[in-house]
Amino acid sequence: MSTADAPARETIRLDGPAPRLLLIQAPYYAEIVGGMRAGVERVAAEAGASLDIVDVAGAYELPATLRMALNAPPNPAPRWDAFVLLGCVIRGETDHYDHICREAMSGVMQISAETGAAIGCGLLTVHTEDQAIARSRDDHHNKGAEAAQAALMQLGLRRRWGLA
């Protein structure tokens, strides 16, 4: 599916308390990640969710930071109901791209499968900056908005099944 085929999605509305989201972002490409963050902020506002934001150095740090957030002491309930991860890795002239993309995504998937946490992953792994820009614009192709939608959908399932 190309970005031209991306579906427009309505914001998820959840029963129960307002969702508490944590956005973990790697703003190495500030303009691109900023565009995706704006998508997350829009979806969070439409869903009536609170949103905390933390920055990490790069995509490689996303899984470890997610794990730290999941292990953060409750106060008295868990601090966040769902998590959104944002970053961008653009292919360069070395194999750095392959290693970072594989390890970051593998780490996130491992945490997701182990914990069942409500996670939306918006880590762009693209060949060109133009591809990244196309996925961070203020339209229905915005991967930050899609990641926030995914996190809210997962949270909805957790609530439906009595896990949250």
* Residue 93 labelled as part of a binding site: yes
Q: How far is CA 133 from the centre of its chain?
A: 17
Which candidate, 86, 88, 87, 75, places its Cα nearest to that of 20?
A: 75
Of 96, 99, 127, 140, which residue is the catalytic one?
A: 96
Say which DSSP state 58 is in. Answer: S
- Is 11 annotated as ligand-binding? no
126 annotated as belonging to a binding site for a ligand: no
Q: Is 88 annotated as a binding residue?
A: yes
Known binding residue 60? Answer is yes
Cα(65)–Cα(56) distance, integer angstroms: 8
Q: Please indicate whether residue 140 is annotated as part of the active site.
A: no
Query: Is 94 a known ligand-binding residue?
Result: yes
Using N-to-C axis directions, what is the helix angle for 62-71 and 96-115, rounded to 10°? 20
Indicate the annotated binding residues: 28, 59-61, 88-90, 93-94, 135
Q: Annotated binding site for (2S)-2-hydroxy-3-oxobutyl phosphate, which residues?
A: 93-94, 135
Please state the residue numbers annotated as binding site for 5-amino-6-(D-ribitylamino)uracil.
28, 59-61, 88-90
Catalytic machinery residues = 96
